[in-house]
Amino acid sequence: MIRFLFRFAAMIALAVAVIMGVLDTTRTVAASRLVLTPLKTSWNAVSPDTLAAAQGFVRGEIQPVVWDSVIDPILNQPGFAVFAGLSLLLYLIGYKRQRKAARIAVA
């Protein structure tokens, strides 16, 4: 059941990555130059209150250095790349390996 939830979350993250990639591709074609939108810009455009709340929580409850050295550089990466990497990570966590005995055909 837990593996299913990780694979489902991976599918959702991959869908978001594809949507963000299509948006960047559309902007690239329209501008006739490469346009990569950082995740922070996209998040701020969709919901600036939650971005400020997340930043305030991490800076206030955890440590300001965590926001500055870990989270902020991730948020400055292109959104489609962050969600594609998250999707891969979630899929690898939820992946069910086949046992070697199951792959052998019995004659």
Q: Looking at residue 96, what is its pLDDT?
A: 80
Cα gap 85→93, rounded to integer Å: 12
Range(s) of the domain holding residue 72: 39-77
Q: Looking at residue 101, what is its pLDDT?
A: 64
Residue at 104 is within a domain: no
Q: Looking at residue 1, what is its pLDDT?
A: 82
> What confidence tens digit (pLDDT) does each residue in 48-58 have?
999 999 999 99
Residues 5 and 30 in one domain: yes
Residue at 23 is within a domain: yes
Cα gap 53→22, rounded to integer Å: 28
Among 81, 73, 19, which Cα is nearest to 46's? Answer: 19
If the chain, 107 residues long, is cut into consecutive pieces of 10 residues, what is the mean pLDDT of each piece?
92 96 95 94 94 93 90 94 96 82 63
